[in-house]
Amino acid sequence: MFFFASTRSILFGIFEFFGFLGLYLKKKIIFSSEKFEKNKNYFVKIFIVKRGRYNRLFLHFATIGVLGFGILIAPFLASTYPVFSANSSTSAKITEPNTQQLISVDANVFQTDISQKPRDKVIEYSVQRGDTISTIANKFGISEDTIRWANGLSGDSITVGDTLKILPVTGIAHKVISGETVYSIAKYYDSNPQQIVDFPFNEFANPETFSLVIGQILIVPDGVKPSEVPVQRIRQNISRQYYAGPIPVSPGGFSWPLSGGISQYASWYHMAIDITAPVGTPV
């Protein structure tokens, strides 16, 4: 009887302990979640500023943190789990101490490919001997028209020593004037406004509304300079017909001078009526 009573009290204590543990963890999780919700906006604003400029810094610190944590727990893993130890008996069974293995490794294995990232601003390039618009465009990874538009060139004529403006990407460098928006600039250069917003080095007065500042230089990726087509005036050769001969006068007073409709009646600024008729109709 005493055994059953003690067992029952132990089970009751266990249930009570886990119930308390559940309530404790629940409170801690709720408290941590509230803290996270209050402070997460601060970190989000940091990473949103410049639309991703701090992502690389964040990734670097995160990588260093993971590596540091791995170094700290490495001795614990080696002592607790022998499979992680370099001197474990398992590894000794796999490889004999006197056995040498030759592994052929290509020389390119240890080469690091560095990705090409866009520049953050327009640079100046001095033309060297042998340079052409085409070779300079290929050197910087932009189109030939981009170089022409940025430097006001109508053709491919350049000389040694000339200083050319080189954009970071193919497109147009636009100086903002009053009343312009991202959408109006994109429409003017036949581009997509999302490309202007996504270019990481375009500055905005307000990153949420993408408002612009007068005088700032905005890069328009894949923008095309509007074609300047001169307006041609079309001259119509209208043959004038003149009526020659005597004009009869009606003896009855006033009469309708033309056989046509009235196009404009008399008013305070136009003290007459206008009658429509073909050119050259006699009056």
Q: What is the pLDDT of residues 218-263, one digit of tens each?
A: 999 999 988 754 445 445 554 555 555 555 655 655 667 777 777 6
Q: What is the pLDDT of residues 103-120, one digit of tens each?
A: 665 666 556 665 566 677
| pLDDT at position 46 | 63
Residue 177 inside a domain? The answer is: yes
Establish if 30 belongs to a structural domain: yes
**129 shares its domain with 86:** no
Q: Which of 221, 244, 266 is the last residue of a domain?
A: 221
Q: Exposed, middle or buried: residue 281 (CB in 10 Å: 0-12, 13-18, 19+)?
A: middle
Q: What is the CATH number of the domain that holds 187?
A: 3.10.350.10
185 and 218 Cβ atoms separated by less than 8 Å: yes
Residues 130 and 216 both lie in one domain: yes
- How far, in Å, CA of 197 to CA of 185, rounded? 12
Q: Answer with the one of 164, 186, 221 that is the final residue of a domain.
A: 221
- Whether 80 and 165 map to the same domain: the answer is no
pLDDT at 69: 84
Which phi and psi (to 5°) does residue 271 adopt? Answer: -80, 60
Residues 161, 216: one domain?
A: yes
- Answer with the one of 174, 194, 221 that is the final residue of a domain: 221
Residue partners of 191: CB distance under 8 A and separation at least 6: 171, 172, 185, 220, 221, 222, 223, 224
Distance CA 156, CA 147 (A): 10
Q: Give the residue ranges of the chain where pLDDT is below 50.
A: 89-94, 229-231, 233-234, 238, 268-269
pTM greater than 0.75: no
Does the residue 234 lie in any domain? no
Residue 48 covered by a domain:
yes
DSSP-assigned states of every residue in 210-261: TB--TT-EEEEET--PPP-PPPPPPPP-PPP----S-----TTS----SSS-
Which residues form the domain of 47?
2-94
Q: Tell me whether residue 167 is in a domain.
A: yes
Is 240 inside a domain boundary?
A: no
d(Cα 210, Cα 26) in Å, to the nearest integer?
Answer: 42
63 and 143 in a single domain? The answer is: no
Pair (212, 175) in one structural domain: yes
The dihedrals phi and psi of 85, each to the nearest 5 degrees, come to -85, 135
Q: What's 85's DSSP letter?
A: -
230 lies in some domain: no
Residue 126: its pLDDT value, please? 92
What does the buried/exposed string (b/e) look like for 121-145 if buried means 16 or more CB atoms within 10 Å of the residue's CB? eeeebebeeebebeebbeebebbbb
Both 87 and 136 in one domain: the answer is no
Q: How many domains does the chain have?
A: 2
Query: Does residue 283 lie within any of the structural domains?
Result: no
Instruction: Single out the residue of 47, 57, 191 nearest to residue 199, CA to CA.
Output: 191
